[in-house]
Chains A and B, each alone.
Chain A
Amino acid sequence: MSAISIERYKEMATVQKAIRTEYKLFKSWYCKHDLSFCISMKEEFPFQLLKKRICGRKQRSLKAYFSFSIFKFLLIKDKGLKVNDKSLFSRKIPFIAELLMTIQYYDNQILDRKGGVVSDQAIINNFKLSKLLRAALHDYLDDENIFELKTGKILKKWVFTILKQVDYGQLLEKNNNLFINYKTDLYGIGSNNTNDYNIEKCLEKCKKQILEIAPELKEKDQFLTKYLDRVFWAGASMYPALVELILELLNIKGRDVFDNLYHFSGVLGITLQLVNDNTDNVTRKAFPRTVAKKSEDAFSDIRNQNITLPLLIHLQKNSGKYIEESIQSGVPLFSLRQEKLIFKELLDSGALLASKEITKQLAHLTESILSEMVSENWEKKPYINLTLGNICGIAYYNNAYGFIEKSAKARVRRLDEMDKLKTNFVKKQPMLGKARKLIFERSRRARRLLAAIQNIAISQKQSTTPKQRPTYLLIEPLNKIEKKVLTEEPEYGFA
């Protein structure tokens, strides 16, 4: 738990507990009221994904926690704030946020063929569950025994705005963010003309940050704009929408509070979405499995020809062709070996590391926006920094990022070793024959190094002096060149 504050972790656990209570209430309401429940022969609650997301043992729901933290922030900011029904903010809205995420996952599993949703039957099942859960949510918010009429109306407005925003984002992805759009610079959907100052500001800030770290994207300015548009609507926009919902329910009207919180939550949403796009690009061993994602979902963006930030940087760097070929291959599932080659190419081009760095910088930006909102004399400033301020912790450290860093370091070490060996080889060529037999039998690693030396020898023999650092050639398995040496699948240092 290196970058996550203990304070935040504890609070997340408390919020999770609260939304479990709300889940039980929703379930019992559903079983009593909703028509779709009345058709099940087994009388089972059909939304198992919702159950797993909320009741799963290690689940800590970020969106639920975010909405709770915003409420708490507003309470600290304005001590005179009157709240009639605290459970609305501490339990109900966080639960609704998770329910919205579940609906999105049902759809997303279809759209990206994730979570094992590939067969006709599974697609139809998800499609129906998504529709039924949407309808149930509407009726739930309509129930005046649960929500006051005015509250229910505000909730309905924002809940369905969020779903619409996400649908719109999905539409953008499928029409503007694909490889074909990247290649042709032609887009299915024109600008959305939001004329919304706050949205423009969020997107501008993020774009500036991205271009600082990856200046090569300036050439693809239009694609980058379309990508950020999609990132905002498909994922990030939910955060500012939750803020707007909470402000409206609390009847807080000040423009400055709204603008600042909007920027904070907008940039936060974009950061987290970019983290998500980065973690899609690790091999299945390190892929962050969740209740809605399986390890086979690794590299789903490449499979779906969806060009996300790391892939965009990579394509612009024009370093290696394997990824481009993989995108165009239309393969429904990559083998482990293919995954490793893709990952290696992303590491070698530096695209994944650059994209990872961008999310870190954006996390800094989020924190600075928050600290601007919190005046120095706030008694609870340290608490806010440890909770809401720490919500971007995942952009600094998560398991997939750990794996990327470890692999990148191993890769650098390997390349350095190769360089040294190459130099030594020229100097000590006569000794090689003697040492060879000894080394070969003892160590697999040595065997691979030896293979690499031979590789260099062959390439030198053919007088093909590489102009750039021979990254790919050096770790290419020897059996491609001398079939007798290696018989098993080669392992790379970063696997």
Chain B
Amino acid sequence: MDSHNYNEMLGMKKEIQDEYQAFEDFFSSSLNRFTIQQEGEPSFLFSLLKRRVFHGNPVLKAYFTRKIYDYIKLKSIEEEADALFSRVLPFGIEALMAIQYYDNQILDRKGRVTTPALINNNLILSHLLQQNLLEYLETRLPGSAFNLVARDFRLILKIVDIGQLTEKQNNLFSNYRGNTYGLQWNEKVCEYIDDMVLQEVKDIILNIAPELNGSTFLDWYLRRIYFTGAFIYPQFVKLIAKLLGEEATNHRSLVHFSGLYGMFLQIVNDLTDFIPSDESAQSVVKNQTDAFSDMNTKNITLPLLIHLEQQKDGSVRNYLENKETRLTREEEWTVLKSLISSGSVDKTRKIIVNLCTALKKLLDKENKNYPLFANMCDFAYSNKFENFYGRYLRRNSRKSFE
């Protein structure tokens, strides 16, 4: 991330911090019937959201939302923009992510949400945050805008839910092994899939990993990650276009870009999951112990899928078949080394790089926001996994030299 992007993101963060404060004040005011004050920590109800907004990490999704507005309006972030686009929607997308994280922590036992007390807490907070967010937006936005925003927010949450259900029914090792799938989607659900985006990602994957040709599992994997991770991006582009009084069809390539960008981020994320716990850093919603959570929950993501197609036996398959408890640190390293030696890691990295190239091609080079969008795509070269992998390779070459 270059310094320009970084500075813009810092400015963005300040905006949504202010919006968060207004959100919290709304619930502390006498207007609200349910002021909740936890002794010593008044805002615990929204603690995850607060940490997302105030923590040191960049607010990527909020920034993306604002940049979409800039891209459509051919503006730069320094220029004056309606608060709806500069603050409310960027804050809204971060709040939506917080709701999803509360759910995800239950579903995947992440963030140490494993005890009954913590599961209960997340369940209640997820419901309350969703309800409070919509109530806040109703007071914050004019009626027509609120209706559009609320409808899309609910649709996004529903699509993510369907994606998560699909993950638990169709994306597990048992589905891969038996090539059987618990859920089917009919036409109405498929309407929300962007076939062009999925086909493009599939082509890029098959180009690098031809062994996946004809894999039904790959199709389910792509559909699932589109719903759980990517859908929110094109939907926000469409929403912003609608709020600006424009037709989404006028911005087809931007919609396409954002769908592809969501898929790209999801695949990067799936690879990042394979950073061993003793190497991974803690984040707002993830603990170090969340490393290898896909392996632990037997969720077959792209790197694993490529590996399993390459190696019909070996330790990875053995763990997936027989291991019922969390992997130990040694086992995590064994899995990672197997993925590296089977070429799965390099293939996935190559797919990510090719996606980055495809993404840049979709952007209008004349748009003054192009460099910033291109820079967002360069995430392919400078993400957590790349940083770790670089360190790992350097260590190994030093060892072999010694």
Contacts and interface: CB of A to CB of B under 8 A. Distances in A.
Interface of A: 35-36, 38-41, 107, 110-111, 113, 120, 123-124, 127-128, 131-132, 134-135, 138-139, 160, 163-165, 167-168, 170-171, 174-175, 186-196
A39 B165 contact: yes
A40 B166 CA distance: 10
B183 A110 contact: no
A127 B117 CA distance: 15
Contacts of B107: 124, 127
Nearest to B35: A193
Nearest to A175: B38
A38 B165 CA distance: 12
Interface string B177-199: 00001111111110010000000
Those 10 A-B pairs whose CB atoms lie nearest each other, nearest first:
A190-B37, A38-B189, A38-B186, A38-B188, A41-B184, A167-B127, A164-B131, A39-B183, A111-B120, A135-B158
A171 B45 CA distance: 10
Given A124-B107, A164-B128, A164-B131, A39 B158 contact: no
A123 B128 contact: no
A187 B39 contact: yes
Contact of A171 (B103, B117, B124): B124
Interface string B94-130: 0000000001001101000000110111011101100
A138 B154 contact: yes
A480 to B, nearest CB: 34
Contacts of A171: 36, 45, 124-125, 128
B164 A128 contact: yes
Given A188-B38, A190-B37, A35 B158 contact: yes
Given A38-B185, A110-B123, A188-B39, A174 B117 contact: yes
Interface string B54-97: 00000000000000000000000000000000000000000000
Contacts of B45: 171
A107 B168 CA distance: 19
Contacts of A195: 30
B128 A190 contact: no
Given A123-B119, A128-B161, A167-B127, A189 B37 contact: yes
29 contacts: A35-B192, A38-B187, A38-B188, A39-B184, A39-B189, A41-B181, A110-B120, A111-B120, A111-B124, A120-B109, A124-B168, A127-B106, A128-B165, A131-B157, A135-B157, A138-B154, A139-B154, A163-B131, A164-B34, A164-B132, A167-B131, A168-B34, A170-B120, A174-B120, A175-B38, A189-B37, A190-B38, A192-B34, A194-B33
A181 to B, nearest CB: 12
B336 interface: no
Contacts of B119: 110, 123
Q: Is the interface of B mostly helix, strand, loop or mixed?
A: helix
B174 to A, nearest CB: 13
A132 B161 contact: yes
A171 B127 CA distance: 11
Interface in B26-47: 30, 33-39, 45
A35 B35 contact: no
A384 to B, nearest CB: 31
Interface string B135-177: 0000000000000000000100111011011101000000000
A174 B115 CA distance: 13
Contacts of A127: 103, 106-107, 123
Contact of A107 (B123, B188, B192): B123
A190 B162 contact: no
Given A123-B106, A168-B36, A192-B36, 6 more contacts: A39-B184, A110-B120, A127-B103, A127-B107, A135-B154, A189-B38
Nearest to B187: A38
Contacts of B157: 131, 135
Nearest to A165: B34
A110 B126 CA distance: 14
A42 to B, nearest CB: 9
- Which among B106, B119, B127, B168 has the greatest number of chain A C-beta atoms within 10 A? B127
B65 to A, nearest CB: 23
Contact of A174 (B109, B124, B164, B186): B124
B161 A131 contact: yes
Contact of B33 (A134, A167, A196): A196
A207 B88 CA distance: 44
A165 B36 CA distance: 12
Nearest to B150: A138
Contacts of A38: 185-189
B124 A170 contact: yes
Contacts of B38: 175, 188-190
Contact of B188 (A35, A120, A124, A191): A35
Contacts of A168: 34, 36, 128
